């Protein structure tokens, strides 16, 4: 006969195990943000000098908060002379007006333009008179040079020196040309963006046309923990602005930071697709915000010690974020261990092929970026060689148990890139410039 004491004990144990399972996946009680460290194998063969592939999977549920958090949004718009071409400014103004029309009275909007210097067209303020804001946007006209740094710094300042608590804080930087005034150094501008992200102000960049510096715009977005868009044609702007608006206003968690503490003698070989800060065995990645349904994958290769059998600490990951419903900070720690074993059979049997595939896919995506840069420099042969190398990796996966839907799509994309770079006569031609920007952007997206 089972006593009431035993029943209580069993129920407590079941509750403990169930709550442990839930907490292993959910960062909060409601289904909003999930976090799962995944490793390619819980076992490493003894004295193998093993490589461990890791995927830190982070995703937002398809979940709408009961009331979305208000936004502090500053539009930083290039008004250099080149914005007169192909109706760029007209499209930019229309896209900005469409975006403003979708915001609410509790949101704040600011508008900064830049040419020779920055100009605060409208200081950050509550959106209580949309018609007035639309008239201000209509008044923007192209002028002279491209002092991108002045516009960026002013855009950040508009939010930094206002109330940020309880808001999703976003700067959208639009440019169609090369930064030729003010600060033009990519390292300095990246540090400005990184400091902004550290303050919880995230920067999305939009490159318009074929004559802007995509490396600079991607670096600002990466360091600013925001998004990057290549807008080849001005008539795509309305769609891109709408996409960014939907992402911003469906934020489910914000100010997300992952800190990774590597185990003793564990060596970071590569971290794909994300900027990070390194201090000894600690790695810090600023993710920024995540929207409903979004997924992020932080992929790494680690070299792990395998000279002593038994359990070893691989890493500890601590993730912090702010809940958009109550704006409270939350933190969850996850520990990951692996076992060194002399059983080769155990290693083979326990390999997680989907994780191996995920990281190998990232390696091929990085090759695509390298190929685009070879092509950009005029070294077509090296570009084609690198794409062939990447394509070979992916084809081999697709002939094996490592095949996934992602690798099938990646094989097609790499085959298209190979054909395009083989047939295009010059990287300096409009079609060549388009390919370079397209494949750099594709590589960045695949790595994330």
> Does 231 fall in a domain?
yes
Distance CA 96, CA 46 (A): 59
> How many residues would you count in the chain?
448
User: Last residue of a domain, which of 184, 217, 249?
Assistant: 249
Alpha carbon distance 49, 330 (integer Å)? 37
| 273 and 232 assigned to the same domain | no
pLDDT (0 to 100) of residue 432: 92
In a domain, 1, yes or no: no
Q: pLDDT at position 5, please?
A: 39
Report whether 440 contacts 214 (CB < 8 A).
Answer: yes
- Separation CA 209–CA 91 (nearest Å): 12
58 and 108 housed in the same domain: no
Confidence of residue 66 (pLDDT cuts 50, 70, 90): low
187, 193, 183: which is closest to 220 by C-alpha?
Answer: 193
Domain extent for 207: 71-249
pLDDT at 78 over 90: yes
Report residue 304 as tokens. 């792990």
Question: What pTM was computed for the model?
Answer: 0.88
Mean pLDDT across the chain, nearest whole number?
A: 89
| Domain CATH code at residue 386 | 1.20.120.660
Do 127 and 178 lie in one domain? The reply is: yes
Would the pLDDT of 280 be above 60?
yes
H helix or E strand, kind and range, residue 241: helix 237-249
Over 90: is that where the pLDDT of 293 sits?
no
Does the residue 262 lie in any domain?
yes
In this prediction, residue 64 has a pLDDT band, given cuts at 50, 70 and 90, of low
Instruction: Quote the pLDDT of residue 65.
Output: 58
* Dist CA 182 CA 151 (whole Å): 10
What pLDDT is attached to residue 323? 83
Strand order in 71-78's β-sheet?
Answer: 118-126, 108-114, 71-78, 168-175, 202-208, 228-231
pLDDT at 28: 41
Q: Which residues pair with 204 in a beta bridge?
A: 172
Would you tell me how many other CB atoms lie within 10 Å of the CB of residue 290?
Answer: 23
Same domain, 236 and 256: no
Looking at the structure, tell me whether residues 169 and 257 fall in a common domain: no
- CA 419 vs. chain centroid, Å, equals 28
Residue 387 falls inside a structural domain: yes
Mean pLDDT over 251-270 rounds to 94
Question: Which two three-digit tokens encode residue 7?
Answer: 């029943």
Residue 255, both tokens: 């100010």
Please tell me whether residue 418 adopts helix, strand or coil conformation: helix
- The span from the CA of 119 to the CA of 113, in Å, is 5
| Residue 247 in tokens | 């992402």
Q: How many Cβ atoms sit within 10 Å of the Cβ of residue 8? A: 10
CATH number of residue 327's parent domain: 2.60.40.3670
Q: Which of 332, 349, 366 is the last residue of a domain?
A: 349
Q: Is the domain of 233 the same as that of 293?
A: no
In a domain, 431, yes or no: yes
Helix (H, G, I), strand (E, B) or coil at 59: strand
The domain total for the chain is 3
Is there a single domain that holds both residue 268 and residue 164?
no
* 197 and 260 housed in the same domain: no
- Asked if pLDDT for residue 31 goes beyond 90, the answer is no
- Cβ atoms of 201 and 56 closer than 8 Å: no
Does residue 9 sit within a domain? no
Question: Are 298 and 276 found together in one domain?
Answer: yes
pLDDT tens readout for residues 345-364: 999 999 999 999 999 999 99
Our CA angle for 375, 376, 379, nearest 5°, is: 45
| Nearest residue to 41 via CA among 384, 372, 427, 337 | 337
Cα–Cα distance measured from residue 262 to residue 337, given in angstroms and rounded to the nearest whole number: 11
In this structure, is residue 22 part of a structural domain?
no
**5 occurs within a structural domain:** no
Residues 6+ apart with CB under 8 A from 368: 386, 387, 390, 413, 414, 417, 439, 442, 443, 446
Secondary structure (3-state) at 388: helix
Domain boundary among 233, 249, 265: 249
Same-domain pairing of 225 and 87: yes
Tell me what pLDDT residue 252 has.
86
Are residues 240 and 149 part of one domain? yes
The owner of tokens 């996934």 is 404
Q: Are residues 172 and 260 in the same domain?
A: no
Q: Are 214 and 437 in contact (CB under 8 A)?
A: yes
């Amino acid at each position: 006969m089972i006593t009431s004491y035993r029943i209580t004990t069993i129920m407590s144990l079941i509750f403990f195990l169930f709550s442990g399972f839930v907490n292993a996946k959910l960062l909060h009680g409601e289904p909003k943000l999930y976090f799962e460290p995944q490793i390619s194998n819980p076992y490493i063969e003894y004295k193998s000098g093993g490589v461990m592939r890791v995927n830190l999977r982070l995703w937002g549920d398809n979940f709408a908060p009961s009331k979305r958090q208000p936004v502090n949004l500053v539009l930083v718009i290039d008004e250099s002379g080149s914005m007169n071409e192909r109706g760029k400014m007209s499209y930019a103004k229309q896209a900005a007006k469409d975006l403003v029309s979708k915001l609410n009275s509790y949101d704040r909007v600011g508008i900064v333009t830049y040419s020779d210097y920055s100009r605060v067209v409208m200081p950050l303020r509550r959106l209580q008179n949309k018609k007035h804001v639309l008239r201000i946007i209509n008044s923007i006209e192209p002028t002279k040079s491209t002092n991108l740094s002045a516009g960026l710094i002013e855009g950040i300042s508009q939010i930094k020196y206002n109330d940020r608590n309880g808001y999703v804080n976003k700067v959208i930087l639009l440019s169609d040309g090369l930064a030729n005034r003010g600060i033009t150094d990519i390292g300095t501008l990246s540090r400005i963006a990184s400091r902004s992200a550290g303050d919880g102000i995230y920067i999305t960049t939009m490159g318009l046309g074929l004559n802007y510096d995509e490396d600079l715009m991607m670096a600002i977005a990466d360091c600013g923990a925001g998004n990057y868009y290549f807008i080849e044609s001005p008539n795509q702007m309305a769609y891109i602005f709408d996409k960014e608006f939907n992402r911003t206003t469906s934020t489910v968690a914000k100010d997300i930071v992952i800190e990774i503490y590597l185990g003793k003698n564990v060596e970071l070989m590569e971290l794909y697709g994300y900027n990070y800060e390194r201090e000894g065995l600690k790695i810090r990645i600023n993710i920024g915000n995540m929207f409903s349904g979004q997924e992020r994958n932080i992929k790494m290769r680690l070299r792990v010690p395998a000279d002593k059998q038994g359990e070893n600490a691989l890493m500890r990951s601590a993730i912090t974020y702010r809940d958009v419903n109550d704006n409270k900070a939350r933190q969850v720690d996850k520990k990951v261990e692996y076992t060194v074993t002399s059983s080769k059979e155990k290693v083979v049997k326990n390999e997680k092929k989907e994780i191996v595939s995920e990281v190998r896919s990232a390696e091929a995506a990085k090759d695509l970026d390298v190929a685009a840069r070879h092509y950009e420099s005029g070294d077509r042969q090296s570009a084609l060689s690198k794409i062939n190398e990447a394509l070979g990796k992916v084809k081999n996966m697709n002939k094996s148990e490592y095949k996934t839907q992602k690798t099938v799509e990646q094989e097609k994309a790499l085959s298209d890139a190979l054909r395009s770079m083989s047939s295009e006569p010059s990287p300096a031609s409009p079609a060549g410039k388009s390919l370079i920007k397209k494949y750099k952007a594709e590589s960045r997206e695949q790595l994330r």
